[in-house]
Chain A
């Protein structure tokens, strides 16, 4: 079956603009995760959704970052007033049950803020 998909694959934006990144999880997966990987850094957890429960936003680096998940499926990560330090690869993953099962990752969105 189809894996996790993300769009766009690449995004170049100007400092101060807002961007939206999209994630389509594997069908039937109730858990969805967002991470980012900055150049030379390890993966950083951002936010986690489990079904229709309120998300765990503890990893979001600032209030410019927000995410939503509509209908328990597609998720959008929004970065407002982008800064150059937001440049990174943003990865989405999904799993069938929170924390208990293998996470399947999408190919990522490479964001460059000029």
Chain B
């Protein structure tokens, strides 16, 4: 069974720092990997989707990379802001219809 692990579980940084969130998965035969953010009391917001054939995706201050062979993905957040405070989840898709989520990294960006 696919296991998805996110490190660290929690992270607190001062505003303006660049930071990296890590996601690892045990089975490299993934179809795609997606990063989400979850705000308290709200649903998930999709941030970036990386297909298995891609190495990275960028959106604004966010950059996600994917290394299938090593079973790793990183989410890079540049110039962090207090509004970035949330829980960040990564999820992998297997065979179109199996989805596995990590337990998330809770990010706190201090003003």
Contact = CB atoms under 8 A, between A and B. Distances in A.
B96 A93 contact: no
B32 A99 contact: yes
Contacts of A98: 96-97
A33 B43 CA distance: 13
Nearest to B96: A99
B71 interface: no
Interface of B: 4, 31-32, 34, 36, 41-46, 49, 51, 89, 91, 93, 95-104
Interface residues of A, number: 26
Nearest to B93: A99
A58 interface: yes
Contacts of B44: 43, 91, 93, 103, 105
A45 B102 CA distance: 11
Given A43-B91, A91-B43, A102 B99 contact: no
Q: Which of A44, A48, A91, A99 has the most CB of B within 10 A?
A: A99
Given A43-B89, A43-B91, A99-B96, A105 B45 contact: yes
Nearest to A110: B41
Given A43-B101, A108-B43, 15 more contacts: A6-B43, A35-B101, A42-B4, A42-B103, A43-B89, A43-B91, A45-B99, A45-B100, A50-B97, A56-B97, A58-B98, A98-B96, A99-B93, A104-B46, A105-B43
A56 B94 CA distance: 13
Interface of A: 4, 6, 33, 35, 41-45, 48, 50, 56, 58, 91, 93, 98-108
Given A33-B99, A99-B97, A42 B89 contact: yes
Contact of B31 (A43, A93, A99): A99
A109 to B, nearest CB: 10
A101 B49 contact: yes
A102 B96 contact: no
